[in-house]
Structure 1
Amino acid sequence: MKTKIRITGSFLLMIILIIVSAACSDDDSSGAKLSFSRSIYILPSNGSLEVELRASVAPETDLSIPVIIEGTAILDEDYEISANGFMIKAGETSATLTITPKNNLTANREIRLSINPVSGYTLGDKKIAIIPVEVKEHIMYTFKPVIYRLLSEIDIRIEVEGENSGSSFRATTDIVLPIEIDPSSTAILNEDFELENGITSVTIPKGSYYTRFKIKIKEGAEDYTGKNAILKLGTPVDNSELYYPGSFVSYNIKLDQLKFTDMLGKWKPVEIKDKDNYVYVGMPDEDWINSLPENNGANDYLEFVHQEDGTDKIIPYLTGDLKDFFCNPQGHTVVFDHIEKGIYNWIADEEYDAPYFTTSQVNRCFSKRKTELGNAFIGLDKIDDNNIIIYFHDFIPTDFFSSTFEEYGHYFDASFFGITYAFTRVVE
């Protein structure tokens, strides 16, 4: 029995020693320690990251702690770091390093930071920081072609798109894209045409994905008809490796000046082109379905003639609905007036310009049941040698669009609710 007591006493003594040792160990763990504030950080694809090192006890003098930089990410290629170590100032308990992404275009790379003990300090539980590097997205830049023909001035649109995010991409900084004139252009900059404010670059602002600028016929320019201006979109200078060209980095624009004599001949009505617009803007069916002026005779046509006295005329040979506008069988004198700019097609989501001509003594009511003779604007445009467009944008809605006209009152805009009428050449 005594032997058992001695064994038990020895065992108890061992336990006491272990407890005392553990207590001493706890005292050591409560000493001055260095530790990252986090074990895992993420370096964003853009912007910067601050990595913090903390000291459990503030040093009495400035404390320099070297950092070991490792990992699959490549310094000065994928990222930059503000220093090769931390400096905790006397009396303070933390310091930071700033890591900035650079050309971080390769996936699955990371930075590994670690520290060694320095005099007076041991390492805490977060002695290593792992920092995965987010990959920057490649960005496509492109013209957004809408109009290839310059009658007076047009807006040019430029867009950027993310390789992964697509059209939801938004610029994180201003993106400056150079604009150049291709030397193969036949039109001469600042002689035949000009870019607004003489720009040589455009900027897509931070938070956006597009920008616009204007190209214009140079005031006083002569003999420019038929020439072309070819615009080229350059790669941004800053971070050029991020960008790649889209489908349209070259934009060929024809300078034009439509004249009535370009359209001489006989033209047969084909169809009204913009019915989808009426649906889009919510025009009531009863305001246009079955009432548009599209019922024409099989042999109906308009003849565009230039007379010996120098006057231009549209002479109607009509039996159907277009007779309700071109009502004088002897013809209507036509005189160029101006270029109507920025007419909008809602379905195509595009603007266009139309040469407006004053047409004499037409029926401004465009109606079978009511006549009001007077001058009216019509827009004329030549698509090619065999096709033209007449824009009816100046009339008093009577047989069609009448309830919309009453609803909108003086806000009714016929260029908004107008008629785009296609004609084809009568070949004899």
Structure 2
Amino acid sequence: MQVCVLGAGVIGLTSAYYLAKKGFQVTVIDRQPGVALETSFANAGQISPGYSAPWAAPGIPFKAVKWLMQKHSPLRLSPEPEMKKLLWMAKMLGQCNGDDYNLNKSRMMALAEYSRDQFIALRKEIGISYQDGQSGTLQLFRKDEQVEASEKDIKVLKALGVPHQVLSPEQIAQVEPGLAPVIDKFKGGLRLTGDETGDCYLFCQSLKEKCENLGVTFQFNSDIKSLSVQANKIKGVETQFGVQAFDKVLVCLGSYSKELLKACDIDIPVYPVKGYSLTIPISNEKYAPLSTVMDETYKVAVTRLGDRIRAAGTAELSGYNLDLPKSRTDTISHVVGDLFAQGCDLSLADYWTGLRPMTPDGTPVVGASGIDGLYLNTGHGTLGWTMSCGSGAVIADIIAGSKTEIDSEALSAKRYKA
């Protein structure tokens, strides 16, 4: 059976791999000249099940107003009154209550934990290497109120059986010695010991080779124009080279999934939330991170990737704008300089930006579309790398008609229908 996967980012590649493992003949189509050249190219490097939580949470509307007034704000809003943005924000604000937060977090955690298990199995099965590390994620609190607020998350972690450690400033310095010179800036920390790190781009390069060994075909430099649908059944995909016939089609186009699906009368609430990152060589390992640290104040993650530091953050709602102004990268530069100034030279940093496909409830859209033979795997937001293997395994089971290893019903687009 011929299956077409649209998109060669980490979501498309993991989907293609698990589909090929099940015996499908898989073709991956992407407009770029290679894999992982958009959102998957330079993300934060975190595989963080323990940090999987929806942005829509109680108190977020009030916090958002405060963030917008900060110089180094984790949130940016473009001034243009874009209707898509306003509608998405309204839906997200509607999720900012305790009941929805707990439900959404449980869904996200289940998928993220399953995905982490798939990463472990994948390394054992095919020996894939991607500068991966298994030393956890450390959340840093600069304020007493952040420590107090973390108690709610700690209760959830305990209830779900997620391994974690509550750390004092002294213990933070033991876990991350590079923070010792600035340890007086922190009131405490929360370490998620089961989280991992790795270079998503390297992972995708390696997985592409594994996919090709399984017979997966890649068509690059192909602009996806439309889906061919007849009598509510998928027939194929149209690119600039014409229409190609497929038995099934899986849409893994991240932020660009929404517009393609809209032409088929499928409306999913996915919005492109812009993020920024920098990558910088380590000049002094003594003062560099060992794994990932998340600065709770600025919502910036700083990760060790081999002999480099990757820092990523900022949530900007500005449509499909891919400009890279210095004013937007100042926050991540500030955090790296504030935490690890002695470990790197910021003048050597390479900056990048990408669009993260966010849903209002934080949970991705994984499953059938309502059109026979058309499936979705998109809307992972900042957790695409974290949830990639799990999402790929789940959608492969769904397309194969197999029982999924986790409850997948809540991941489908049906949850948005009144």
TM-score by length of 2: 0.19
Question: Does 1 or 2 have the higher relative contact order (CA < 8 Å, sep 6+)?
Answer: 2
Q: Larger helix proportion, structure 1 or 2?
A: 2
The structure whose residues are more often strand, as a share, is 1
